[in-house]
Amino acid sequence: MPEGDTVWNTARVLHRALAGTRITSSDFRVPQLATVDLSGWTVRESVSRGKHLLLRLGAPDEAPWTLHSHLRMDGAWRAYAPGERWNGRPAHLIRVVLRSPGAVAVGYHLHEMALVPTAEEDRLVGHLGPDLLGPDWDPAEAVRRLADHPEQPIGEALLDQRNLAGVGNLYKCEVLFLRGVSPWTPVDAVPDLPGLVTLAQRLLAANRGRWTQSSTGSLHRGQTSYVYGRRAQPCRRCGTAIRKEELGERVTYWCPVCQPERSGPPTPS
């Protein structure tokens, strides 16, 4: 699940593969960048900002630029050794290929790709709230932003990247379960909002540096989550069947007993 920790891990993979090297060739397979040639550019660093990935580049005799991409639900970057078979995804999903003397970076099904001057990154990520895994993490600011929308359901508020950057469906569901809060509870009715925000940051940080996301402490298959992905399975606390609500890409899992503020989504009027 490409949430904040996955993007952080991806940025680290690209940094290890490309940072400090010169791009020997580039191949963009998206219309807006089809004519761009990064040959001769140097990769300075690869960093994440919430769910956004920023590959910062040094152009010959020019100010630095940033290649921006977003993984959304299905995007991925892979780093291969020169000559290694590309087996990350089907070839028709490739959106960009960056070659250097020691590695080949391939981006699959990437979204919101853009190349902008690094000084103008805020055009793409300036709207984001504090990054749960970033040096700017500020829990008080995250709480303030959440509290600015007191009537919004907390499940929606946690997914709003303008409040805090990095939480997706998985962590939303797990954090709310662990705090015993219904996803449909208004923000101003959530007990101990700072504690909820702190827990969200701790869960993402605990999974930083590994690809298996776990909120239970177990890395064994089928034991990594309390509610996420467990529709109709018994709650690990009370045995009640876990419920699921789906609206587009937004999926919510919850236990109606352990998260008792509401037993489900509000009834349509």
Q: Give the residue numbers annotated as catalytic, written as ranges.
A: 2-3, 51, 250
**What does the alpha-carbon distance between residue 263 and residue 33 come to, in Å, rounded to a whole number?**
48
Q: Are 241 and 235 in contact (CB under 8 A)?
A: yes
Q: How far are the Cα atoms of 73, 105, 142, 165 from residue 128, in angstroms, in the given order?
A: 18, 26, 10, 6
Residue 68, number of CB atoms within 10 A of its CB: 20
Q: What is the DSSP string of 207-248?
A: HTT-SS--SSS--STT-S-SSTT-TTSBPTTT-PBPEEEEET
Query: Residue 53's beta-bridge partner residues?
Result: 48, 69
Residue 77, number of CB atoms within 10 A of its CB: 24
Residue 202, number of CB atoms within 10 A of its CB: 13
Q: What is the DSSP string of 97-157?
A: EEE-SS-EEEEES-EEEEEEEGGGTHHHHTT---BTTSTT--HHHHHHHHHTSTTSBHHHH
Round the CA-based radius of gyration of the chain to a whole number and report it: 20
